[in-house]
Amino acid sequence: MIETRQLTKRFGGVTAVDDLTFTVLPGRVTGFLGPNGAGKSTTLRMVLGLNAPTSGTATIDGRPFRLEGAGLRRVGALLDAGDVHRGRSAQAHLAALARSNGIGRGRVAEVLGEVGLSDVARRRVGGFSLGMRQRLGIAAALLGDPPVLIFDEPINGLDPEGIRWARELFRRLAADGRTVFVSSHLMSEVEHTVDHLIVIGGGRLIADEPLGSFAARATRHSVKVRTDDPRRLSAALTEAGGEVTTDGTGSLSVIGLNTSRVGEIAFANRIMVYEVAAESGALEAAFMELTAASVEFRAGQAQ
């Protein structure tokens, strides 16, 4: 479990993270979203004890991470795929990390196999592509088989196969009951992976909620609803203020109402509904709307 309480970080006059309070629970994949410069990496660095907070606290399983003697068995983290020495082989890099935490050599071979780098283990990291370095970073995070995993933009540079592999890995780790915290600046990267979202903008918390309810915040996006009585539902939705279009097969497309509202209207009118779904892109739209608001808010405050 990762917890931050009133976490704040200022660099000179710039407030990178502002009074941030959230909890990341085990057993699910939690996405950490925000536009570039929102303060995601700074927050993660404070959680990992790399940066000292200006005020507030960040703890992992109840304790500040700086107090741990050896870290890999408690937390596995990939902050930046470039955080390796280019002159070392993948094998040597992992061997040194493993040794520092008293983890055996066998585990190094295991994680190299798990991320698919066994064949290039003896090659120097300087010659690796970004995707290969991401895999190496993920391997390092897995070394200690930790209960908490933190990945900062892990999808960058991965090929489609790699992206699918990483998503499956994150889901599997969460299914084991681990805490999995994955940051991104692109909603499309995480929408198929995460169960829960923490969204920040301008260093402040914007949303901390399940993926479904976050998607419902997208007011300007369309909701798809499938029913056995499209004519009656269409009328009810229009009456409630929605713009409804129909494709003639029992599916309606509604703009101006979110998924919850559509469900409520159908229920109130006793109309059978087979499916209510935010149409693809709704998450992205909600993300854009909310983070755009945070940027405007910041600009307004400065005046």
With a CB cutoff of 8 Å and minimum separation 6, the contacts of 136 are 81, 84, 90, 93, 94, 115, 117, 125, 128
The two most distant CA atoms of the chain are separated, in Å, by 68
- Nearest distance from C-beta of residue 275 to other proteins, angstroms: 44
* Contact between 66 and other proteins per CB under 8 A: yes
CB 166 within 8 A of CB 16: no
User: Helix 105-114 to helix 90-100 angle, to the nearest 10 degrees?
Assistant: 130
* Contact between 69 and other proteins per CB under 8 A: yes
Among 70, 235, 272, 293, the residue binding other proteins under the rule CB under 8 A is 70
The footprint of other proteins on this chain (CB under 8 A) covers a number of residues equal to 36
Alpha helices in the chain (DSSP H): 40-47, 90-100, 105-114, 130-142, 160-175, 187-190, 211-215, 230-239, 259-268, 282-302
Query: Using CB under 8 A as the criterion, what x/- string covers residues 131-160 for binding other proteins?
Result: ---------x--------------------
Among 25, 99, 177, 220, the residue binding other proteins under the rule CB under 8 A is 99
Among 51, 184, 193, 291, the residue binding other proteins under the rule CB under 8 A is 51
* Contact between 29 and other proteins per CB under 8 A: no
* Contact between 96 and other proteins per CB under 8 A: yes
CB 282 within 8 A of CB 219: no
Q: Which stretch binds other proteins (CB under 8 A): 21-29, 94-102, 159-167, 181-189?
A: 94-102
Would you say 14 or 67 has its CB closer to other proteins?
67
Decide: helix, strand or coil at residue 115.
Answer: coil
Quote the CA–CA distance of 276 and 227 in Å, as a whole number: 9
Among 80, 159, 176, 275, the residue binding other proteins under the rule CB under 8 A is 80
Decide: helix, strand or coil at residue 224.
Answer: strand
Would you say 150 or 236 has its CB closer to other proteins?
150
CB 114 within 8 A of CB 142: yes
For CA atoms 193, 198, 201, 207, give the dihedral sign. Answer: positive
CB 17 within 8 A of CB 168: no
- Nearest distance from C-beta of residue 103 to other proteins, angstroms: 9
Q: What is the pairing mode between strands 179-184 and 148-152?
A: parallel
Query: Using CB under 8 A as the criterion, what x/- string covers residues 167-206 for binding other proteins?
Result: ----------------------------------------
119 DSSP assignment: G
Q: Token digits for 286? A: 């909600």
* Contact between 130 and other proteins per CB under 8 A: no
Would you say 43 or 291 has its CB closer to other proteins?
43
Would you say 54 or 213 has its CB closer to other proteins?
54
* Contact between 122 and other proteins per CB under 8 A: no
* Contact between 104 and other proteins per CB under 8 A: no
* Contact between 92 and other proteins per CB under 8 A: yes
* Contact between 82 and other proteins per CB under 8 A: yes
Would you say 45 or 135 has its CB closer to other proteins?
45
* Contact between 109 and other proteins per CB under 8 A: no
Tabulate helix, strand, coil % of the chain (nearest 5). Answer: 40, 30, 35
Q: What is the pairing mode between strands 204-210 and 196-201?
A: antiparallel
Give the binding site for other proteins (CB under 8 A): 45, 48-52, 65-72, 75, 77, 79-80, 82-89, 92-93, 95-97, 99-102, 140
